[in-house]
Amino acid sequence: MRHRLSVMNSGTQPPQADPGAPHHSEPTWRAPSAEAPQPHGPAGLHTGNQPPTAGPGQSAWWHPAAATDPWRDPASHAVIETRPVPHAPAPEPLPARPAERARPALGLVIVVSAVTALIAGTLGAAIGIWATRTGAGGGFITGAEPRTERDVDSVAAVVEEIMPSVVTVLTADGGNGSGFIVSDDGYIMTNHHVVVGGGAEVAESLQVLFSDGSVTSAEVVGSDPDSDVAVLKIEGDEHPPMVLADSDLVAVGDPVLAVGAPLGLSSTVTEGIVSAVDRPVLTQNNNGEVESVMAAIQTDAAINPGNSGGPLTDIAGQVIGINTAIASTAAEGEAGNIGIGFAIPINQAKRIADEIVATGSATHTVLGAELGASELGVGVTLERIVPDSPADDAGLRDGDVLTAFDGTTVTENTQLIALIRKLAPGTEVTVVYERDGREHSAQVTLEAAAD
């Protein structure tokens, strides 16, 4: 059963449901553009268990056993018990020794030692209490010197390094998205639905806010709705670009950081892991029309409206994807994070962005087959093979059931389209298909869709 994902932006009303579309009770997926947060009251607080209150005439630490136990009763005295030495034969007399000064009795030594220990303990406790009340600025207890720098491999150090490269994109309708610098001469990557805002037309220029609070204008170089990628350009040639990783190497369980401006809160960082890769995600525009299909990186890092267009990075701060959409259990309106967010793999996004910068538009990869209706189970029916297409050149025929694409088992149409669009034109892949009850394989060289 297919989930639906809709694109929404701050300051606009949520898209109206398509009256002709079937109703599903499953979560809807929405693109995380900005929305002002709703106020919430403080959570209730409660204290832990309190110690029992002392009764009249009792010490606060009195214990019921004190009446019979001298170690619990503060009014009792320690008792030193002496025992007689067992009888033994009398030893031979020794020669007379010079007279010595009388030594104090054993009992007196013990009493003096006990009093000394008591005084020392009381004095030490008093000094300790006094020292802790004098504060960190003086006294006997000084502690070690505070650290002024964090470990170079800590999350805080990584964030400090990448934050100047992340921007808040201020949209024409008063909302916001996010973006990140990808070249020292000022190119910025973001989402198509960010530069469109709440309207249908791509803005010509926008403003971007930097982590240091400065604001500048940005030209919209180009935008591609099919991939939900857009490119902006700011003036200058000494901007700090982010490092782009190889998203094909991303694995489930890898730690990640999501950076952006959720709900307008600029320079926000959340942490999580990669929950899945090649997750088929279908988004809709404000009119409820299917706009983009992607084989997304899924993460549980908190992503909210306003994170759209911001970077999803590995733990070293290298970009692995563009935060684009979130799943939602809400039937209507904008929704917040529920731990299921999606990012466009950076390898695909970079290819699209490079084409936009070079030509002003982007190409889209195709197999060259019309797909039949999705059915439960493994396989997608190739209902009609387009003549002279990659599928035709590979020997595929009408009615073949494609069961695997580039090593991935295929179960429904959206998944196959997402896997195809993830790859660049000219990529050769292996497909597995069934024909007349027998399994076959073929090599297909994908190509760009005709204009």
Check residue 198 and give its pLDDT. Answer: 76
* Torsion sign, CA atoms 192, 197, 200, 204: negative
Tell me: the pLDDT tens digits for 178-196? 999 999 999 999 999 999 9
Provide the percentage of residues in the chain whose pLDDT is more than 90: 57
Tell me: the pLDDT tens digits for 30-72? 555 444 334 343 333 333 333 334 444 443 333 444 444 443 4
Check residue 140 and give its pLDDT. Answer: 79
Average pLDDT over residues 356-370: 96
**Is pLDDT of 76 > 70?**
no
Nearest to 414 by CA among 275, 279, 324, 308: 279
The active-site residue, picked from 6, 10, 193, 247, is: 193
Check residue 46 and give its pLDDT. Answer: 37
The number of CA neighbours under 13 Å toward the Cβ of 272 is 22
Average pLDDT over residues 93-98: 54
Q: Quickly count helices (H) and strands (E) in the chain.
A: 6, 22
Check residue 88 and give its pLDDT. Answer: 43
The active-site residue, picked from 228, 300, 314, 400, is: 228
Strands 365-366 and 341-345, by their bridges, are: unpaired
Q: Between residues 96 and 73, which one has the greater pLDDT? A: 96
Q: Within its chain, how far is the Cα of 30 from the centroid?
A: 18
Taking the C-alpha atoms of residue 83 and residue 443, their distance in angstroms, rounded to an integer, is 99
Average pLDDT over residues 277-293: 88
Average pLDDT over residues 107-136: 46
Pick the most confident of 198-207, 279-288, 397-406. Answer: 397-406
Region 365-448: CATH code: 2.30.42.10
In DSSP terms, 441 is beta-bridged to 432
Element (H, E) at 286: none
**Is pLDDT of 372 > 50?**
yes
Average pLDDT over residues 159-164: 96
pLDDT band at 153 (very low <50, low <70, confident <90, very high): confident
Lookup: tokens for 161? 């390094």
The per-residue pLDDT of the chain, averaged, comes to: 78
In DSSP terms, 269 is beta-bridged to 259
Average pLDDT over residues 244-255: 97
Least confident residue range of 144-148, 254-258, 382-386:
144-148
Torsion angle of C-alpha atoms 326, 327, 330, 333, degrees rounded to 10: 30
The CATH class of the 1-34+152-362 domain is mainly beta
Helix (H, G, I), strand (E, B) or coil at 444: strand
Check residue 131 and give its pLDDT. Answer: 40
**Is pLDDT of 75 > 60?**
no
Residue pair 262/307 in contact (Cβ under 8 Å)? The answer is: yes
Q: Within its chain, how far is the Cα of 111 from the centroid?
A: 65
Average pLDDT over residues 151-164: 90
The active-site residue, picked from 165, 275, 308, 389, is: 308
To the query of whether residue 33 is one of the catalytic residues in this protein, the response is no
Taking the C-alpha atoms of residue 191 and residue 188, their distance in angstroms, rounded to an integer, is 10
Check residue 99 and give its pLDDT. Answer: 53
Q: Phi/psi of residue 135, each to 5°?
A: 85, 175
Tokens 């493994």, residue?
A: 378
To the query of whether residue 214 is one of the catalytic residues in this protein, the response is no
Geometric angle at alpha carbon 20, from 339 and 8, rounded to 5°: 35
**Is pLDDT of 322 > 70?**
yes
pTM above 0.75, yes or no: no
Average pLDDT over residues 344-354: 97
Q: Is 447 exposed, middle or buried (0-12, 13-18, 19+ CB in 10 A)?
A: middle
Average pLDDT over residues 163-182: 94
Check residue 402 and give its pLDDT. Answer: 97
Taking the C-alpha atoms of residue 165 and residue 163, their distance in angstroms, rounded to an integer, is 5
* Torsion sign, CA atoms 262, 265, 269, 272: negative
Taking the C-alpha atoms of residue 114 and residue 127, their distance in angstroms, rounded to an integer, is 20
Check residue 375 and give its pLDDT. Answer: 79
To the query of whether residue 308 is one of the catalytic residues in this protein, the response is yes
Cβ-Cβ contacts under 8 Å for 124 (sequence gap 6 or more): none
Average pLDDT over residues 255-268: 97
**Is pLDDT of 396 > 90?**
yes
Residue pair 445/428 in contact (Cβ under 8 Å)? The answer is: yes
Q: Is 231 exposed, middle or buried (0-12, 13-18, 19+ CB in 10 A)?
A: buried
Q: Between residues 309 and 334, which one has the greater pLDDT? A: 309
- DSSP code per residue over 2-14: ---EEEE-TTSPP
**Is pLDDT of 87 > 50?**
no
Q: Between residues 375 and 257, which one has the greater pLDDT? A: 257
Q: Where are the domains of the chain?
A: 1-34+152-362, 365-448
Tell me: the pLDDT tens digits for 205-237? 999 999 999 999 999 999 999 999 999 999 999
Q: Is 66 exposed, middle or buried (0-12, 13-18, 19+ CB in 10 A)?
A: middle
Taking the C-alpha atoms of residue 114 and residue 120, their distance in angstroms, rounded to an integer, is 10
Strands 268-284 and 5-8, by their bridges, are: parallel
Check residue 101 and give its pLDDT. Answer: 53
